[in-house]
Amino acid sequence: MIASQIALAPLANRLVNVPAGQFVGVSWVRPMKTRKGVSAVVTKSVRSTVMVGANHDNRQSVIEARANGEAPSENAGLPWGSWVNGLENRVIEHKGAFYVRLYPVQNKDGSPRACKTIFRLNGEIVSKSMLENLCLASEFAESKSFTCYTLGEANLRSVRSVNRSDAKTNLLGKA
């Protein structure tokens, strides 16, 4: 698939147009996987600062993981889907759906920058513990260290600049 032949959702399109390596604030919402017989609507909302358009192979954490044997010595490619031509390192197409690739930002000490996570049950904010009996155990796996986020374009809710000069200006032009 070629970049000029796809129509991305407006927020995904904004991310595609952010210069490579720039940090942005992103929020997304996704349904959580529930146990059989649960009819409640359970969602997870996340707000995080991410880097856009990075080349995975050039990231310091990947270089170090390959050097110490924690990762394969060569990139094995995407586990599913394929890069959209002209949007490599940004957009993946899989079975007709589009996903944006983003990278979590680390603090100066190398620790991952915290994400803000909100859980909802039928639209009401609830604690994580209230959902543990409703959702699959995999939804609450011990803290993971993500090397990247691959987000469905339909799950994106906002994209905000994190530059100090325009921190209050949404990349869509809204304050």
**How many alpha carbons fall within 13 Å on the CB side of residue 140?**
14
Q: pLDDT, tens digit, for every residue of 106-126?
A: 777 766 677 899 999 999 999
Question: CB neighbours of 13 closer than 8 A, spacing ≥ 6?
Answer: none
The answer to whether 161 and 24 are in contact (CB under 8 A) is: yes
The answer to whether 52 and 24 are in contact (CB under 8 A) is: yes
Q: pLDDT, tens digit, for every residue of 36-87?
A: 999 999 999 999 999 998 887 777 777 888 888 887 777 778 889 999 998 9
Model's pTM, two decimal places? 0.79
Per-chain mean pLDDT for the chain? 84
The answer to whether 1 and 85 are in contact (CB under 8 A) is: yes
Confidence band, pLDDT 50/70/90 cuts, at residue 4 = low
Q: Indicate whether 145 pLDDT > 90.
A: no
